[in-house]
Structure 1
Amino acid sequence: MLGSKLDILKPEWLDVVFNDRNKAYGAYDLRKSNPKNTTKALVIGIAVFVFILSFQTILNFISGFIPKATEKVKITNVVLQPPPPIDKTKPPPPPPEPPKPKVDQVKFPPPVVKPDNEVKEQPPTVKELEVADPGQKTVKGDPNADIKIDEPVGNSDVKQVTEEDPNKIFTAVEQEPTFAGGIEKFYAFLRNNIHYPAVAKENNVQGKVFVSFVVEKDGSLTDIKVVRSLGSGTDEEAMRVLRNSPKWKPGIQNGRPVRVAYTMPISFTLQTDDQ
């Protein structure tokens, strides 16, 4: 008996514990129904847990059998009225009159070479131009008008002129930029100012360094770059000499100076007495 394993939770022990005691007390009923209540609670808990996990699946399954309500679309035929006929005899409305200039404007006819007896319109006199501006027609000015640079005045047919980018770099122009005295003078300037790099002289490096630069409107050289390198300090020396170059005559396009891109080789040659 003592060596056997005792299970005090067996129902047989319940009567031994409550022998000669008040079994009508709630503790006896609780102990007696405890296994049944525990099993019931476990089953209910598992069922609730499984239901929660499968709720969405059940909902999707049920919704597949429920017919969806179809939205009724009402189609209405709309009859468009034809546009009114165009009256070709009626002239179009005139364009809006441009704003008046601030200063009086007198008509200045374009110059045409004709005999004096065939001249119908006389150009404005110098006295008239002292108090008025020349234009395509005579217009009385409005002293209270606002000055608008971007709008034509006096004639609605005048078109605004957009100027070309002043910083544009040209590669070909009507008149190429030149060094004062010609290209031979420029090569003479290079020969007199280039210092042969010691490393290049020691390694007998000879050849040409191709450089590009921009001749500005004032003739100065900017944006100096090496296009084809020779190395051993010759690239740096070529760029240094170009930075110290006197000003060139700028390139000309449409009668005005412009920025022009220029590319040229600078030769590095060792003389016989230097070797």
Structure 2
Amino acid sequence: MSQVISQDATLDDIIFRDKNREYGAFLLRTTYPKVIKRSVLLGSALFVGALLLAAFWKQLTASNTEKTEVTAEVMKLDTPPPQKKVELPPPPPPPPPKEIPKVTTTKFLPPEIKHDEEVTKPEPPPEEVRGNTANETVKGETENYEPPVDPDAKGKEEPVEPPKPAEEEIFTAVEQQAEFPGGPAAFGRFLQKNLKYPSAAQRANVGGKVYVQFVVNTDGSIQDVTVLKSVGFGCDEEAVRVIKSVPKWTPGKQSGRAVRSRFTQPITFVLSE
């Protein structure tokens, strides 16, 4: 084959020079520009034809519509007659003022200071005499009446004892709780300072918590000290002793009144290592 390429050869001729041109690719490449040009012309013609058809249809339908003219007649209204002024009747006169009834009053006299010698006590009014009256005073006999005796009563009656005063109520929760002087922290320091570890508990290596219940009286004193939970080995007695030795508390108050209140205090016994 000759390797010489003519000057009039196209790109397709160069590419498909040594290839089979009957396969179909060569034909597609050679006819592609003509197909594109034909498609553009045909699409443009269809688009312009659609625009012309729409314009023609619009002009055709516009010519068939009938135009109707509407004339509006303006009516002239007569001017309204002038309104007559309505004269209102004069307002009624105000009612006469009502007279306020006078209330009997007594003039207040300022107190006058006098010496005791110048003050005269008013004499008391005479006592009203009730009962039988006579011209002379006669001393009569007075009748003694004995109380009736119950026939069903047997033996001597026992004297009735007056009712005992009710014991003051003990509160567990009040509006203002009773407090140790200085607060809970000061109470804890007091217990730590005055509590002594029993020797029996030390020898037996026993520890724990003793729950002590007591009542703060209305004057702040401590009473009714009891042990709720025991540890033993002298810890209970030591806890009761310390609670009884505390100074007076500030009593609790309910409705502004000092009342008796009940407390439960745990006391811990721990051996230091």
Q: TM-score, normalised by structure 2?
A: 0.39
Q: TM-score, normalised by structure 1?
A: 0.39
Query: In terms of Rg, which structure is larger?
Result: 2
